[in-house]
Amino acid sequence: MIIDVHSHCLQPDHVSEASRRADERAGYPPMQPLPFETYQEAMRVVDKSVVFGVRALACGALSPNDFTAEWVAKDPDRIIGFMCIDPTEDGYLEEIERGVELGLRGIKIYPMLAHFNPADPFYFALYEKAQRLELPILSHVGTHPNPRAILKYSHPLLFDEVAQAFPDLKIVIAHMGHPWQRDCAVVIRKHANVYADVSGAGWVRPYSAWEALVLMVEWGVADKLLFGSDFPFWTPEEGMTKMRRLNEQVEGTNLPRIPDDVIEGIIHRNTLELLGLE
């Protein structure tokens, strides 16, 4: 089974014009509408996918959770929806309850875009609610080129404190927390219910991705890595192909190879079982 745990249904009208311009200045191409059929075609190479929007009031991104639920309803046997929650918004705890009523089965957060420290106890009500309702949390962790993002709120070590306070909460650190992959490794090693996804990692900066996976093997946590594409930036097919080619960079050298079974283990990991989504 192949699960894409990190895909987006974000549309241009979910993001303010100022935020779109900031992304374009940072190097993103102009955002285009994403038809469901384009998403569905890209996901044919996986068995199931997890999809969400972006919600970060401070940066002008406000994906409606109703939109995500409608997206899932078009192919409910193959798509699992996560609600986007910004805990700086009034009424966000009620929005979590409403998201559950909509059939959404996890939570996506963007601390650096929403301008909140995920380790601040002020926001622990978010995690308490998620743990009680058995909703996994997937957080963007690591860098972001938008000049309005606050990078200090996007470091993997912040989730050490969250996991200590909420040991039964399942947490996914997106993108292996790049460029702080070593810090990501020590956090996921320490906490039984904390994982990391590889979305976007191997196909943007291949050397960094090779180094990160070597680090994960050395730290003994490669079995806690989950496959994700970061679609529509990259397709699952691109992600799998480029991850399988990471070792080409070190051919003919004495540098270590990423074992093939590690790469295939990431691609074929039963993410749904690990996150309680079966």
Instruction: Report which secondary-structure segment, H or E, holds 101.
Output: helix 92-101
pLDDT at 194: 98
**What is the average pLDDT across 169-174?**
98
Q: Which two structure tokens, joined as six digits, stand for 164?
A: 């200590």
The phi-psi region of residue 29 (left if phi > 0; otherwise alpha if psi is between -120 and 50; otherwise beta) is beta
Q: For the segment 213-258, what is each residue's pLDDT rounded down to a tens digit?
A: 999 999 999 999 999 999 999 999 999 999 999 999 999 999 999 9
Q: Say whether 195 sits in a helix, a strand or coil.
A: strand
Q: Which of 105, 126, 113 is nearest to 54 (CA)?
A: 113
* Chain segment 24-74, per-residue pLDDT in tens: 777 778 889 999 999 999 999 999 999 999 999 999 999 999 999 999 999
Across the strands, what pairs with 68? Answer: none
pLDDT band with cut points at 50, 70 and 90 for residue 81 = very high
* The pLDDT value given to residue 201: 77
pLDDT at 110: 98
Residue-averaged pLDDT of the chain: 96
pTM: 0.97
Say how far apart CA 227 and CA 197 lie, in whole Å: 6
Instruction: Provide the pLDDT confidence category of residue 202 given band limits of 50, 70 and 90.
Output: low
C-alpha 163/C-alpha 144 separation (Å) is: 23
For residues 262 and 125, give the distance between their C-alpha atoms in angstroms, rounded to a whole number: 36
